Structure 1
Amino acid sequence: MTDDARRTVEAVWRIEGARVVATVARMVGDVGLAEDLAQDALADALAQWPESGVPRNAGAWLTAVAKRRAVDGWRRRERLDERYRAIGRDLEVAAEDEWEPIEDDVLKLVFAACHPVLAREAQVALTLRVVGGLTSEEIARMFLVSVPTMQQRIVRAKKTLTAARVPFAVPEPSEWAERLAGVFAVVYLVFTEGYAATSGDRWIRADLAAEALRLGRMVAALAPREPEAHGLVALMELQASRFAARTGPGGSPVLLADQDRARWDRGQITRGLAALARADALGRGRGPYALQAAIAACHAKAGSVAETDWEQITTLYAALEQITRNPVVTLNRAVAVSMAAGPEAALRVVDEEVDAERLRGGYLLPSVRGELLARLGRRAEAREELLRAAELTRNERQREVLLDKAAAL
């Protein structure tokens, strides 16, 4: 297969994959089986489309193939009951143009994957796989674990859902409390992958971010009394408002300090601030998503980097750090400290407070250290750190930025 053909198939899967899995899951009632069937259909696409061409409605093609594989499986198991006959009749009259996925099917898929029978990390990993369409390698980097460990975790999660006969449905309101935290986590991680892709040749995956924002809005509508639902929507709205300014000609990354703030989407900022106000109005304090939204709001309200309230951002990161105990949050606090109190104070935070072991193998820690060392005039050390960060990142655009910074030193 040519590289162009493979890229075309991968692009179709990124756009349609979650809906294909969700539609098939509604039919077979098993999330793990649905993903396996969809992957089989994708394999057929990889084999056939280079010769036959990409169908006009590629999502319908993948869904029809996956459904037919399900029917074939039932036939082999001699389960020719009324359910099979009804589906068979439907497939006979279905045409490619009839791809009309039910809007909440993907949300049902998220809730099914976030069933409390799974541990939180398994919920997040499985949803990123079947909804976000991320590879095991991409998810492993997010969790800071090995690829085989992540693959085993995802396989076990699918088997557990099948064994527990988890229904493919949005749960009753009485069941939301035990699932919402997982749903929030996976929706935001899908958005994060769209905001700054962990690998590939694109800095932003806007389609992935847009799907996460759509799901977040639906969850907030389902649970209007949950502050973090609105906090999550606020965070995604505010971060997405910068998309137009985050890339330059040819898709090269534009960092926050260099962005043209006139290109930020003011309508989206207004919606984000309103969502944060709704979260605060519930009077139950700010959780991790609302705190991150408040940080994003500080940036959105500032006319420039110099006018940004870095002291407030440092305080908000400190509060977020207490809740999450996440080394990436500590690293972000160090960046804020560098703007509020200077690079020397920030480097002390990085070297003394960041859990370096948990960030081992990632590019973030050497990237931040390189920036701080450069600002302190320690050019040789800074260059070494930036080159190390460039080696560790899997995103080509990010690598270009880091190499350019190292070359400038």
Structure 2
Amino acid sequence: MSSDLPDSGGAGARGWFLALIGFTVVVQAAFNGIRVLISYRTLELGGGAAVLGLVAATFSLMPLLAAIPIGRWVDRGYAAPVMWVGTGLTIMPAALAAAAENIPVLLLANMALGMGQILTTVSGQALIPQSFPTAELNRRFGSLTIGVSCGQALGVPLAGFVAGAGEEPQVQVALWVMAAISVLAVPLMLGVATRPAPRHISRSEAKSTSQSPPALLGIKGMKPAIFASMATLAAVDIMTAYLPLVGQSYGLGVQLVTLLLTVRTLASIVSRLFIGQLTRRFEFRALLGLASLAGGVALVLIPVLPRFWFLAILMLIAGFAFGLTQPMTMTWVSMLADPANRAAVLSIRLAGNRLSQVVIPALASAVAVVAPAGSVFLMSGALLGMASLTTLTSGRPPIGRSKRKRLE
């Protein structure tokens, strides 16, 4: 790690880092609450399973193309401006989704919301390896992803509570509420901006130290780490988009479905609270492979017995597994890259995530046309099983029990 880390410890670091976690909670509450509501609004406007897959894919289409250039800007020291733009692209699409009266406008709002999500996520994640020593990465990424889970745990049930409060679903009212919540990101962003400004790197200097995406992907261990992340995030998206449809088919209302999604999120929070202890106790590759496998089995079982308590148990298993996978893959790819390329490699990981969010929901949409809706969970579970296999056969990552003193 570079020796010129800006205030990597002490009260100053605690202040802006706590603001970053609070910011993450708010924007993730907005992202996740709005996305669930957009699924219900799509159903209200006459869209079916195929349209739901298209809506899910539009969230990730532009971010897929923009992720790597965003990472390059962040590596050059422009994390704060990138995050400010992302804040604006969280608030405006939220209001547009609330005002939308047809599916094309919903698609536009969803696409813009996806850009806000990628801008805030790349910049927020990159601040951690830019600001803290190697020994703190697992813990700091775990804390950041707890903020993600807390945002999901607050945003999804709040959206469901407001939407289901009347005799008839009030989806548009709930969208306006989520738009208002997204505005709370502004004062928290002001707190993040108190982080000491890094040195801005010129384009020519950055070019001399940056590695191309193919070169970064060629680093041993990079592809399995990214694939594990891709399969997990696609599974989360499949759950978010298609659990309302499964619930509707089996008589589970908006509030019960959002409660199930909240159970999954709370389980992720619990696993992230203990990620430090787990990564010290168990070999890194084995723990990550087991997490992918457990999540995959849970997904495959969702359509088998769609009763509330059975689904709640599956959400607990999947949520705990998913809670480990994402921060562990962040640490893995961060340690594989040199400091000048860490935001770039995190953005490649996110680009892979977005690719999975475009391709897999689109494929799920096609599958849902010719097969029962539950088949999309089988497809996603199979991908997680493949991710488990590639992780376990990838060779030992440069982290885990053998390096515990360095990464505790």
Relative to the length of structure 1, the TM-score reads: 0.31
Structure with higher Rg: it is 1
Structure with greater proportional helix content: 2
The higher relative CO (CA closer than 8 Å, separation ≥ 6) is in 2
